[in-house]
Amino acid sequence: MRQSDIVVIGGSAAGLTAAITARRGYADRKVLIVRREQQVLIPCGIPYIFGTVGSPQKNLISDAVLEKNGIELLLAEATDIDRERKAVHTTAGEVGYERLVLATGSRPTMLPISGCDLDGVYAIVKDVEYLGKLQRRLETARNVAVIGGGFIGVEFADEINKAGDKHVTVVEVAPHCLSLAYDEEFCVEMEKVIASRGIDIRTSARVARIEGVGKVERVVLSDGSAVEADVVIMGVGAVAAVDLAKKAGLHVGLTGGITVDRTMRTSDESIFACGDCAEKTSFFGGRPSPLKLASIATFEARIAGANLFGIRRENAGTVGVWSTALGGTALATAGLTETMAQERGYDVVASTVEGPNRHPGGMPGAANTRVKLVFERHSGVILGGQVMGDAAAGEIINAVSACVQKKMTAEDIAMFQVGTHPALTASPVVYHVVNAAEMAIQQMTERGA
Amino acid sequence: MAKILIIDDDPDFVLALRVPLEARGFAVEEAGSAEEGIQKVLSVRPDLVILDVMMPAGYEGFDVARAIREQHGLKDLPIVILTSLHDKHQVPYRFAPDETYLPVDVFLDKPVKAEALVKTVEDLLGERREEPKHPL
């Protein structure tokens, strides 16, 4: 039987990062990745296969990183885990382990409606061959319906629309696209951007069924109207892939992920789990969180990989940080929106600041940037933030996320010592994040006075 | 004693679930069709429903779940839905609980081990206890 100190099942964002972290933390230990896929897609790059990037082959994680980090690779499917003997059964024989990391990812979900199994209806499956088929199908499509107006649905719609010869419609059940991550005013702005690019949006639209003879022809909505479609793409979320963990008798939580503690250890002390397959808890209150993002997966993998032979890191919960971009407009979020915070019962103070991200505003490259921060009124602790602007929004939100993770107060943020430059940032007098904190403090003080 | 209603047209499967559930102190009721299932939801008032998707008329279980939650307003009645759809059709995707389209608490793939199902039921009803190895 082949033997490795550490075996990682899964070679995408979580598995790879767990393996690299394990090698860094335990340099004398052998690390082996057992991976089913010949080629691994960059998960966040999948929508861009259908426009900007051009093909699944141009959206791959290179295996060179394995060699560089001294990680062994076994291309095989793990079929069972013998926890007594500490061995993984694979299609290429048994592999023994001292510590096992499960990074088996997720599977896309499909709406349970009539016609979901018609030819031409696709889920977003992370598989080179499957996406290649979808790409070929799209070449001759005239009408494309994307069901789900979250960031993946919106990005798919925009990339497919770039071909210029298709009519693309986004169908979203909520009153606004992107509303699970952004407050309404940001969603409305982004919907204007989507519409300006020639994409139709149907919001508050529940899908009743998908119709067609042999292949998909239209999506029928519950108000009786129909969206013509020769391809339907479901961007409606994903569920943890836990077949192997269940088979091995590991505890699986009610949201469907493998139960892990804050050290990412499963109900078996020698087995860790991270990424989409692992159960998550919210940073805010500790309830289960269904969020699945590559950035969360790699964060959890850095915890799991570090803790294999001794606890070094703990997971404080999922903050939820991500961004999207359509053309030159970027939208980014971290933590709770104002609406989400209110729904959870926080007494909220929110402040929004808008202005150019250069100074003076006429400097080349200046773009209007809007920053909204959300605080808990009594403690002044930041709960979240949203940024809309140019590409810099993606990095501004990462700074906001650091504030959220460290539970900084509005006062801490107002006292930031920021570096500014006319060609690079907003003015130090009106620096967005600092100013938003100052305005929030003013609101807190006025009410208390 | 918590009451569990099993809605499934396969008597062997119902029996296989009934035994371990009763052994753990649950009272078990059963219904062999979607229509009978909804009637019993209203008459028996179970604490939890276990529902099979593949009734003879297709994806009826999905409709039963929606009827329980939407038409009859039983929004807090826990529903566990069971299916062999994924395995039977070998699809690369999964059906999953969804507030709008599939209002159930847990979606389990058949074959499901009775032990795992009992654990899920106990989780949902707040009756599962674990003895931690360490106090902290």
Over the stretch A381-403, which tens digit does the pLDDT of each residue have?
999 999 999 999 999 999 999 99
- Which residue in B has a C-alpha nearest to residue A207's C-alpha? B101
Mean pLDDT of A156-174: 96
**Using one digit for the tens of pLDDT, what is the confidence trace for A53-111?**
999 999 999 999 999 999 999 999 999 999 999 999 999 999 999 999 999 999 999 99
Percent of chain B past pLDDT 70, that is, above it, reads: 96
What is the b/e burial string over A99-111, where b = at least 16 CB atoms within 10 angstroms of the residue's CB?
bbbbbbbbbbbbb
Categorize the per-residue pLDDT at B83 as very low, low, confident or very high, splitting at 50, 70 and 90.
Answer: confident
Q: How far is CA B13 from CA A264, B82, B111, in A?
A: 35, 11, 10
Which of chain B's residues have a Cβ under 8 Å away from the Cβ of A109? 93-96, 98
Mean pLDDT of A207-231: 96
The overall average pLDDT reported for chain A is 96
A390, burial (CB in 10 Å: exposed 0-12, middle 13-18, buried 19+): middle
Strands A143-147 and A167-171: parallel
Strands A60-61 and A207-211: unpaired
Percent of chain A past pLDDT 70, that is, above it, reads: 99
**Amino acid A202: pLDDT:** 98
| Best residue of B94, B122, B130 to probe chain A, by most A CBs closer than 10 Å | B94
pLDDT at B132 over 80: no
Q: Which of A108, A239, A246 sits opposite B116 (nearest CB)?
A: A246
Which of chain A's residues have a Cβ under 8 Å away from the Cβ of B93? 107-110, 123, 125, 234
**Amino acid A448: pLDDT:** 53
**Using one digit for the tens of pLDDT, what is the confidence trace for A338-354?**
999 999 999 999 999 99
pLDDT at B2 over 90: yes
Lay out the sheet containing A207-211: strands in order across.
Answer: A207-211, A218-221, A226-228
pLDDT at A184 over 90: yes
Mean pLDDT of A182-202: 97
Min Cα distance A308 → chain B (Å) is: 19
Min Cα distance B6 → chain A (Å) is: 19
Half-sphere exposure for B58 (CA within 13 Å, toward CB): 7
Q: For residue A234, what are the β-bridge partners?
A: A123, A147
Categorize the per-residue pLDDT at A292 as very low, low, confident or very high, splitting at 50, 70 and 90.
Answer: very high
Dihedral, A117, A118, A122, A123 alpha carbons, nearest 10: -20
**Amino acid A255: pLDDT:** 83
Categorize the per-residue pLDDT at A447 as very low, low, confident or very high, splitting at 50, 70 and 90.
Answer: low
**Amino acid B55: pLDDT:** 57
pLDDT at B127 over 90: no
Min Cα distance A370 → chain B (Å) is: 32
Q: Name A73's Cβ contacts closer than 8 Å, sequence gap at least 6.
A: A11, A32, A33, A35, A63, A66
Whether the CA torsion A258, A261, A266, A267 is positive or negative: it is: negative
| A406: three-class secondary structure by DSSP | coil
**Using one digit for the tens of pLDDT, what is the confidence trace for A109-135?**
999 888 998 999 999 999 999 999 999
